[in-house]
Amino acid sequence: MEISRAKYLAEALLKSRLSREDLDDLLSGMNDDEIVKVYSDVLESYFSDLLKQQDEDNT
């Protein structure tokens, strides 16, 4: 799987926009360390942004 496809899949997961085929692709990528790293980076960025937004809302 290409890195750009992995990034797209992780972002689509966060937006609840995965088709069944996309979900199958995302899950199949879990066996590839490079793809898992992409998933991890996307998720880390997403949750980091959420925490920043929460901090801004609390000030």
Hey, what are 1's tokens?
Answer: 């799987």
Instruction: Yes or no: say if 35 and 29 are a contact pair by the CB < 8 Å rule.
Output: yes
pTM: 0.85
pLDDT at 59 over 80: no
Rounded-to-integer distance, Cα 16 and Cα 34, Å? 23
- Which pLDDT belongs to residue 55? 87
- Which pLDDT belongs to residue 58? 86
pLDDT digits (tens, 9 = 90+) for 10-58: 999 999 999 999 999 999 999 999 999 999 999 999 999 999 998 888 8
- Which pLDDT belongs to residue 56? 86
Rounded-to-integer distance, Cα 55 and Cα 48, Å? 11
